[in-house]
C-alpha cells in the first residue's frame, strides 16, 4: 500500500469521525481525555478542546461512576450505559464501547465510542420504574393477590399470600391447586364458584392451612388473560380478625342483655319466692310430707339461681379489704366437707405459706371457690380426689389451683365455658363459671382452664398479691 492510498483511507476515516453522530475519544489510564472528536459539541455542548485533559469519570452521574470506572480497567471490550453531564447541566444517556489499549499486557489507556441513547433508555428506565412501582404495590397490598389457572392452580401470588397460607416461600404455593388449602367439605362450593365463573359475587371460604390454623376469607375472582391464557385474578381478603371482633361483640351484647333480663327477673321473683318458701316451711312443720321436702329443695334451687342472677345483674358497690386467700380457701373447703363425703370425694388441701393476701371482697371470692368446688364434685359422680393449692410466686402473684380427676371437658367445648347458660348438666344453670370469670376479672385476676376428657380438669386462678405494686382491683 502506497502513501497516497494510505492518505486517502485516513481522509475517509477522518471525515467519518468528523461528521458521524457518534463520539470518539481517547483516554489516558486515569480517564483523562487525550483526543475528542468534533461530535462532542453537538452531543455534549463542549468543544473538543474544552474536554482535553479533563477526566471522563468526573462527567458521569454519581450513581454510574463506579460502574464506569470498573469497566474501564477490565482488559476486554465492554459496552456500558451511563449518564454524562452536559455543559448545560443536564444528563444524557450514553452507550459507550470501551476498547482498552494495552502495551506489554498492561493497560495504557482506552478509547471510547459513544452514542446518545437517551430516548431509548429513558423509556426503558421509566418502564422499569413503573414495573417496580406496581410490583411494590401488589406485593405489599393488604389483601392476597394472585393469578390462578381456570382449574385453580396458582401461577402467581403476592407476599401477603405467604402470610395468609403460612408458608415461607411462594414456591410452596405456586403450581399447587387452591383446593389444597380448602377443607374437603367446601370443595363443591369452591369448585362451583370457579367452574361456573361465579366471579361476579365474592364468596366466603375457610382456608385450611397446613399448620392447622383456620383463616376466614372472602374470595373474589376476576377473569383475565395472562400470557395468552384464560386465567383468574384472585383477590383474597382475610376476615379472621373481623370475625373474632364480631364474635366478641355478639358475646358482649348477649352479656348485657342477660344482665338486664337478670335484674328484672330477679327482682320480680325474689319477693314472692321468699313468701312461698316461708309458707312451705311452715306447712312442712305441721305435716312432714315428702312432696314438701321436694318443693323446698326446688325452691332453694330457684333461690340459688336468683341470687346468681343478681350477682350478674347488679354488681353492688363494695368495700375491698385485705383477704387471706389461703384462709378463705380452707374455710370454703370446710363448707364442702359433708357434701364431699356424700359423693365419696376426698378434698386435699396444700397451702404453702400464710402470706397469701390479695385486695378484694371476701364474700365474692368465696363465691368463686364455691362455684369451682361444686363443679369439681359434680364432675366426679363416682367419687374421686380434688387437690386445692395456693402459692405466692416470685412475681408477686397468688396462684390457686383446683384439680379434679373427673370427667373432664372436651377441648372444643372449652371456649364455650363461661358463656351464660352454657351447661351440660341436667339441672345446671350455666352461670357458675360466668360469675367466677366476672368476679376474678374485677379483682384484676385471670382464670385458665385445662382439661382432658376422662382424666380431669385443672382450674388455675392468678391474682395480683396485696400491695404488689399493680393497680388495685377495681371492684364494681
Q: Interface with ligand ADP by CB under 6 A: which residues?
A: 371, 375-376, 379, 404, 406-409, 417, 422-425, 428-434, 457
Helix boundaries (H) for 343-392: 362-378
Q: How far is the CB of 298 from ligand ADP (least distance, A)?
A: 15
Q: Give the binding site for Mg ion (CB under 5 A).
A: 375, 432
Q: How far is the CB of 338 from Mg ion (least distance, A)?
A: 18
Alpha-carbon distance values, 224 to 41, 159, 229 (Å): 51, 21, 8
Q: How far is the CB of 424 from ligand ADP (least distance, A)?
A: 3
Separation between Cα atoms, residue 280 and residue 298, nearest integer Å:
11
Q: How far is the CB of 300 from ligand ADP (least distance, A)?
A: 15
The site partner of 109 among ligand ADP, Mg ion, none (C-beta below 5 to 8 Å per kind) is none
The site partner of 404 among Mg ion, ligand ADP, none (C-beta below 5 to 8 Å per kind) is ligand ADP
The site partner of 424 among Mg ion, ligand ADP, none (C-beta below 5 to 8 Å per kind) is ligand ADP
Nearer to ligand ADP, 409 or 465 (CB): 409
Nearer to ligand ADP, 26 or 422 (CB): 422
Give me the sheet containing 154-157, strands edge to edge: 154-157, 144-149, 229-238, 214-226, 203-208
Q: Which residues pair with 234 in a beta bridge?
A: 146, 221
The site partner of 329 among Mg ion, ligand ADP, none (C-beta below 5 to 8 Å per kind) is none
In the numeric block, which cell numbers belong to residue 219?
374470595
Q: How far is the CB of 405 from ligand ADP (least distance, A)?
A: 10
In the numeric block, which cell numbers belong to residue 204?
366466603
Alpha-carbon distance values, 313 to 259, 261, 340, 362, 476 (Å): 4, 8, 31, 19, 11
Evaluated on CA atoms 272, 277, 283, 289, the torsion sign reads positive
Nearer to Mg ion, 384 or 432 (CB): 432
The site partner of 430 among ligand ADP, Mg ion, none (C-beta below 5 to 8 Å per kind) is ligand ADP
Nearer to ligand ADP, 161 or 432 (CB): 432
The CB-nearest residue to Mg ion is: 432
Separation between Cα atoms, residue 372 and residue 363, nearest integer Å:
14
Nearer to ligand ADP, 66 or 301 (CB): 301
Q: Which of 97, 111, 119, 95 is nearest to 37 (CA)?
A: 111
The site partner of 238 among ligand ADP, Mg ion, none (C-beta below 5 to 8 Å per kind) is none
The site partner of 68 among ligand ADP, Mg ion, none (C-beta below 5 to 8 Å per kind) is none
Nearer to Mg ion, 152 or 432 (CB): 432
Nearer to ligand ADP, 206 or 458 (CB): 458
Separation between Cα atoms, residue 23 and residue 96, nearest integer Å:
9
Separation between Cα atoms, residue 325 and residue 468, nearest integer Å:
15
Q: How far is the CB of 436 from ligand ADP (least distance, A)?
A: 8
Nearer to ligand ADP, 122 or 342 (CB): 342
Separation between Cα atoms, residue 311 and residue 461, nearest integer Å:
20
Separation between Cα atoms, residue 151 and residue 158, nearest integer Å:
19
Is residue 463 within 8 A of residue 476, CB to CB? The reply is no
| Residues contacting residue 403 through CB under 8 Å, at least 6 positions apart | 386, 387, 388, 389, 456, 457, 458, 459
Alpha-carbon distance values, 431 to 116, 262, 320 (Å): 84, 11, 24
The site partner of 406 among Mg ion, ligand ADP, none (C-beta below 5 to 8 Å per kind) is ligand ADP
Q: How far is the CB of 426 from ligand ADP (least distance, A)?
A: 9
The site partner of 417 among Mg ion, ligand ADP, none (C-beta below 5 to 8 Å per kind) is ligand ADP
Half-sphere exposure of 211 (CA within 13 A, CB side): 9
The site partner of 365 among Mg ion, ligand ADP, none (C-beta below 5 to 8 Å per kind) is none
Q: How far is the CB of 309 from ligand ADP (least distance, A)?
A: 13
Nearer to Mg ion, 60 or 457 (CB): 457
Nearer to ligand ADP, 218 or 423 (CB): 423
Q: How far is the CB of 474 from ligand ADP (least distance, A)?
A: 24
Kindly report the length of the chain.
476
Q: How far is the CB of 420 from ligand ADP (least distance, A)?
A: 9
- Helix (H/G/I), strand (E/B), else coil: 286: helix
Amino acid at each position: 500500500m502506497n502513501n497516497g492510498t494510505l492518505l486517502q483511507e485516513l481522509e475517509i476515516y477522518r471525515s467519518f469521525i468528523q461528521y458521524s453522530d457518534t463520539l470518539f475519544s481517547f483516554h489516558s489510564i486515569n480517564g483523562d481525555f487525550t483526543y475528542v472528536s468534533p461530535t462532542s459539541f453537538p452531543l455534549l455542548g463542549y468543544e473538543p478542546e474544552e474536554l482535553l485533559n479533563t477526566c471522563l469519570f468526573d462527567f458521569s452521574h454519581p450513581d454510574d461512576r463506579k460502574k464506569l470506572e470498573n469497566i474501564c480497567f477490565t482488559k476486554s471490550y465492554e459496552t456500558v450505559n451511563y449518564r454524562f453531564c452536559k455543559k448545560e447541566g443536564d444528563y444524557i444517556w450514553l452507550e459507550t464501547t470501551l476498547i482498552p489499549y494495552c502495551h506489554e499486557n498492561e493497560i495504557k489507556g482506552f478509547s471510547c465510542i459513544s452514542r446518545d441513547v437517551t430516548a431509548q433508555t429513558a423509556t426503558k428506565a421509566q418502564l422499569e420504574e413503573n414495573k417496580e412501582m406496581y410490583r411494590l404495590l401488589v406485593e405489599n397490598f393488604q389483601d392476597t393477590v394472585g393469578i390462578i389457572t381456570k382449574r385453580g392452580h396458582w401461577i402467581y401470588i403476592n407476599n401477603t399470600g405467604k402470610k395468609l397460607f403460612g408458608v415461607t416461600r411462594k414456591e410452596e404455593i405456586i403450581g399447587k391447586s387452591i383446593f389444597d388449602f380448602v377443607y374437603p367439605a367446601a370443595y363443591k362450593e369452591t369448585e362451583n364458584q370457579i367452574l361456573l365463573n361465579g366471579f361476579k359475587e365474592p364468596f366466603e371460604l375457610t382456608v385450611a392451612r397446613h399448620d392447622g390454623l383456620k383463616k376466614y376469607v372472602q374470595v373474589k375472582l376476576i377473569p383475565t388473560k395472562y400470557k395468552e391464557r384464560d386465567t383468574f385474578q384472585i383477590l383474597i381478603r382475610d376476615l379472621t380478625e373481623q370475625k373474632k371482633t364480631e364474635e366478641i361483640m355478639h358475646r358482649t351484647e348477649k352479656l348485657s342483655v342477660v344482665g338486664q333480663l337478670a335484674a328484672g327477673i330477679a327482682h320480680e321473683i325474689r319477693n314472692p319466692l321468699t313468701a312461698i318458701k316461708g309458707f312451705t316451711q311452715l306447712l312442712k312443720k305441721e305435716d312432714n310430707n315428702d312432696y314438701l321436702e321436694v318443693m323446698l329443695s326446688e325452691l332453694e334451687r330457684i333461690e340459688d339461681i336468683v341470687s346468681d342472677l343478681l350477682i350478674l345483674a347488679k354488681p353492688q358497690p363494695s368495700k375491698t379489704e385485705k383477704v387471706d386467700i389461703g384462709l378463705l380457701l380452707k374455710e370454703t373447703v370446710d363448707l364442702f366437707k359433708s357434701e364431699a363425703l356424700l359423693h365419696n370425694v376426698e378434698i386435699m388441701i396444700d397451702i404453702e405459706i400464710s402470706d397469701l393476701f390479695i385486695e378484694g371482697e371476701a364474700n365474692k371470692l368465696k363465691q368463686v371457690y364455691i362455684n369451682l368446688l361444686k363443679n369439681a364434685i359434680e364432675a366426679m359422680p363416682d367419687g374421686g380426689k380434688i387437690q386445692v393449692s395456693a402459692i405466692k410466686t416470685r412475681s408477686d402473684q397468688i396462684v390457686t389451683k383446683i384439680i379434679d380427676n373427673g370427667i373432664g371437658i372436651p377441648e372444643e367445648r372449652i371456649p364455650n365455658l363461661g358463656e351464660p347458660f352454657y351447661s351440660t348438666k341436667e339441672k345446671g344453670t350455666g352461670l357458675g363459671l360466668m360469675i367466677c370469670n366476672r368476679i376474678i376479672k374485677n379483682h384484676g385476676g385471670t382464670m385458665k382452664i385445662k382439661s382432658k376428657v376422662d382424666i380431669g380438669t385443672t382450674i388455675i386462678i392468678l391474682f395480683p398479691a396485696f400491695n404488689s405494686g399493680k393497680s388495685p382491683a377495681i371492684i364494681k
